[in-house]
Amino acid sequence: MTVMIISVVAYLILGPIVGGLLAGCDRKITAHMQSRVGPPIRQPFYDVFKLTEKEDITVNNVQDFYVLCFLIFTIVTGCLFFAGQSLLLVFFTLTTASTFLIVAAYSSNSPYAEAGAARELLQVMAYEPMVLLSAIGFYMATGSFDVSQIMTSETMPFFAVWGLFIGLVFIMTIKFRKSPFDLSMSEHAHQELVGGLKTEFSGKTLAMVEVAHWYENVMLLGLIFLFFANGTVAGYVIGVVVALLTYFLEIFIDNSFARMKWQAAINSAWIVAAALGAVNLFVLLLV
Q: How many CB atoms lie within 10 A of CB 254?
A: 24
CB 116 within 8 A of CB 190: no
CB 12 within 8 A of CB 79: yes
CA distance 80 to 277: 24
Output the DSSP codes for 82-106: HTT-BHHHHHHHHHHHHHHHHHHHH
CB 118 within 8 A of CB 59: no
For the chain, 287 residues long, give each residue's pLDDT as a single digit of tens: 777 889 899 999 999 999 999 999 998 998 888 888 888 999 999 999 998 888 777 777 788 899 999 999 999 999 999 999 999 999 999 999 999 999 988 888 878 888 888 888 888 888 888 999 999 999 998 889 999 999 888 888 999 999 999 999 988 888 888 877 777 676 555 555 556 777 778 888 889 999 999 999 999 999 999 999 888 888 899 999 999 999 999 988 888 877 777 777 788 888 888 888 888 888 888 87
